[in-house]
Amino acid sequence: MGARENPCQFQIVNHYERIATAIRHLDEHRGEQPDLASLAALVGLSPSHFHRMFSTWAGATPKDFLQCLTLRHAKDLLKRGESVLDASLEAGLSGPGRLHDLCVTLEAATPGEIKSRGEGLAIRAGVARSPFGNCLLGETPRGICHLSFFDGPERANAADELRHDWPLAEISWDDSFAESLAERVFSQSTPGRSWNLHVKGTAFQLRVWRALLEIPPGTLASYGRIAALAGNPNASRATGSAVGSNAISFLIPCHRVIRETGISGHYRWGAVRKRAILAWEAGRVSG
């Protein structure tokens, strides 16, 4: 297809929409401790079917998942994340872990590529399913350059974000390619994979994004801690801006950064989705 054609011609449906509905309900009614039957009825499933679907998706039961959404749990993860980071850095290690044992390499766009706005750059992109709803992926010959989540009405906006980052690039839309890439990105069964990410940012943004890669799955770090890792401990606000500018979700785990209070804060792809990813990771790490 041509570079300007609509990349999103079909409807993607998976369990995430039901999970997101349950998360919103749990957030709004946490103090009431909603039971299994009420959650199942909310999403139109029997209690047994909902329990099975939820546990398979989240790696935790609905009851355990509720615990993963509490402020106390977030604060515990925050403390654990910062202590693990400190220990690894004191030992001279580059970091305590990678997402699913991944080796992620950031390759920055050259000043010439930034100035040319992607002219002459070929990007293969498409829409795919993910555990967290619809996603749009883009890849250049040098690595993944875009991974964003979106909900149904936001498809055109997701494609526009990719075009905004690389306005003069030649984009070819291939949903089959995106589905295959998404399966590998979100797979839980193939440790030791490596990914090259082709990113475009300032020197400070690159330091922040590299710092994000030091946060192991199942733990969290504060904006202040990431600012320190990026070499400017007094730049929490600028760090927050750099975190929010990340165009490659999940693989550069900006979802693992929260406020010092334990509140999850803003997330470019939605607060509910951020909480879902964090609880999904926590369930798999603890499991």
163, part of any domain: yes
Q: So what's the pLDDT on residue 206?
A: 92
236 plus 159 within the same structural domain = yes
Residue (of 166, 158, 155, 165) closest to 122 by Cα position: 166
Number of domains in the chain: 2
89, part of any domain: no
The parent domain of residue 39 ranges over 16-68
Q: pLDDT digit string (tens) for 58-74?
A: 777 777 777 766 666 66
Q: So what's the pLDDT on residue 265?
A: 65
83, part of any domain: no
d(CA 219, CA 257): 9
**Residues in the chain with pLDDT < 70?**
1-14, 30, 68-75, 77-103, 188-193, 260-265, 284-287
113 plus 214 within the same structural domain = yes
- φ, ψ for residue 17 (rounded to 5)? -60, -40
pTM: 0.79
Region of residue 145 (left: phi > 0; alpha: psi -120 to 50; beta: else): alpha
3, part of any domain: no
d(CA 287, CA 283): 6
Residue (of 280, 283, 264, 267) closest to 27 by Cα position: 264
Structure tokens at 203: 């020197």
Q: So what's the pLDDT on residue 17?
A: 83
- Residues labelled catalytic: 254
Q: So what's the pLDDT on residue 29?
A: 79
Q: pLDDT digit string (tens) for 242-265?
A: 999 999 999 999 999 987 655 666
Q: So what's the pLDDT on residue 237?
A: 87
139 plus 31 within the same structural domain = no
123 plus 52 within the same structural domain = no
Q: So what's the pLDDT on residue 6?
A: 46
Q: So what's the pLDDT on residue 146?
A: 96
CATH code of 54's domain: 1.10.10.60
Q: So what's the pLDDT on residue 78?
A: 64
Produce one character per residue of 16-47: b if its CB has 16 or more CB atoms within 10 Å, e if not.
Answer: bebbbebbebbeeeeeeebeeeebbebbebee
189, part of any domain: yes
151 plus 247 within the same structural domain = yes
